[in-house]
Amino acid sequence: MTDALAAAPPPPSRKNPLQVWFGISLWKRILAALVVGAVVGYVWGEGATSLKWIGEIFVRLIRMMVAPLVFVIIASGVAQLGDAKRLGGIGVKTIAMYVLTTLIAVTIGLIVASLLGPGVGADLHNAAPQAVATPKSPAELFIGIVPLNPINALAEGETLAIIFFAVLVGAGVIVAGESGEPVARLLASASEVMLRIVGFVMETAPFGVFALIAVVMGTNGPETFLHVAKLGVCVIIGAAIQTFVTHAAVVRLGAWLPLLPFYRGCMDAILVGFSTSSSSATLPVAIRVAEDNLGIKPSVSSTVLPLGATIGMDGTAMYVAMLTLFAAQAFGVHLTLADYALVAVTTTIVAMGVAPVPSGSLFVLAAVLATIGIGPTQTAIIVGFILPFDRILDMIRTVPNVTCDLSIATAVARWEKEIDVEAYLSKKDV
């Protein structure tokens, strides 16, 4: 009897709720939170605004990380390259790819909006005009890249200025040689610590996403799209084409890697981008998934992704192009082929200066509309018409911004032989 008891297998140990929770992939927890949040917001209605503080804390936690993370990650990544020429090579390839995908996104936006005609017959009489600040000129944008005070740039979250100073610091470490090694080790250690902090913050993502989606659904309701249904359909179609065709081509043809691991590996960043409507807020998550899920080495992820969070605005460029045609159709402005070309070039340029924050695209719309003769008064009417519904449209168009950054980082890493292909392929089994 004793022998029989001894031979019996031990009873299965029960997992506590925390083990079950953390045993589920983060992207699955975020996706579930998004669905539950939508249901709660729909049922609760305006009462869901009482959850707003949870979402705001989550967004603040992520944005808290952006400036210090961008600085230490870029400075450390540049220092690890060990060759200033290699840094220049990566930079040229990266910028060229961002310009190319942005131009493709604009073209897709113009084609989709031309075919569906979202502005034809639009009733703008009840739109409350909203003044839009004058966008910065290209010269002002370039001047702003060089900070007068790097510490102030960090405090103000001026991403381009932070990137510029971080590249200089990293290049200085390379040129300093042995004397710069202690600084290189410090930067590498700091970037590792920052990424661990990002991991802590991301564990709060399901709760933040739940609150953000509940508030959006509770205040706007599912009928929101009925007012701008055709424009919403345009955005969904354009975002889907850019995400699953253009960026898929970058990964498949540029990096010559299978697509399923890429989209599985990106899921955390996609869902955070969708819920926060901010490429900047998604940056810490994008860096983490690039290194942990896609196998991209820090030397590439730390240089490509922060740059992409600033200039990789595929979804934004596509949306601005669509709004331009929406305005032209609504006001009866006839566009020639030359006008389309001018809109495409102008949108590609100004999209790279859009602040990576919710509704940032509306602040550069005036610059594009001015090229086809639509003045400030009419622009204010368009912005007033779109603004009540822009948050939901913004959530959709942020997704291709995120996949743009990660697809280009994957391609550049492949070209530079800075990707662990086995780690990338392992996402097939997730």
Instruction: Please report, for the domain that includes residue 248, its CATH number.
Output: 1.10.3860.10
Q: Say how many Å lie between the first and final Cα of the chain, rounded.
A: 45
For residue 393, tell me if it sits in a domain: yes
Q: What token pair was written down for 13?
A: 């140990």
Instruction: Supply the pLDDT for residue 61.
Output: 83
Helix axes 181-202, 159-176, angle to 10 degrees: 140
Instruction: Supply the pLDDT for residue 192.
Output: 81
Q: What token pair was written down for 163?
A: 């990137």
Helix axes 298-311, 279-292, angle to 10 degrees: 160
Q: Structure pTM? A: 0.73
Nearest CA among 268, 274, 267, 269 for reference residue 396? 274
For residue 189, tell me if it sits in a domain: yes
Range 303-342 burial, b when 16+ CB lie within 10 A, else e: bbbbbbbbbbbbbbbbbbbbbbbbbbbbbebebeeebbee
Helix residue spans in 117-246 (DSSP H): 138-145, 150-156, 159-176, 181-202, 205-220, 224-227, 229-241
- CA 208 – CA 163 distance, rounded (Å): 28
Residue 354 lies in domain = 25-429
Instruction: Supply the pLDDT for residue 430.
Output: 47
For residue 113, tell me if it sits in a domain: yes
Nearest CA among 425, 409, 215 for reference residue 305? 409
Instruction: Say if residues 403 and 247 touch (Cβ distance below 8 Å).
Output: yes
For residue 333, tell me if it sits in a domain: yes
Q: What token pair was written down for 147?
A: 């900070």
Q: What token pair was written down for 127?
A: 């739109």
For residue 182, tell me if it sits in a domain: yes
In this structure, the dihedral spanned by the alpha carbons of residues 120, 126, 131 and 137, taken in order and rounded to 10 degrees, is 0
- CA 293 – CA 144 distance, rounded (Å): 34
Half-sphere exposure of 146 (CA within 13 A, CB side): 4
Question: In total, how many domains does the chain have?
Answer: 1
- CA 14 – CA 55 distance, rounded (Å): 33
Instruction: Supply the pLDDT for residue 135.
Output: 54
Using CA atoms, how far residue 414 sits from 249, 255, 270, 304, 429, in Å, is 14, 6, 21, 13, 21
What are 282's strand-pairing partners? none
For residue 163, tell me if it sits in a domain: yes
Q: What token pair was written down for 72?
A: 């230490």
For residue 6, tell me if it sits in a domain: no
Residue type, 394: D
For residue 9, tell me if it sits in a domain: no
Half-sphere exposure of 207 (CA within 13 A, CB side): 12
What are 296's strand-pairing partners? 419
Parts of the chain with a pLDDT under 50? 1, 429-430
Range 88-114 burial, b when 16+ CB lie within 10 A, else e: eebbebbbebbeebbbbbbbbbbbbbb
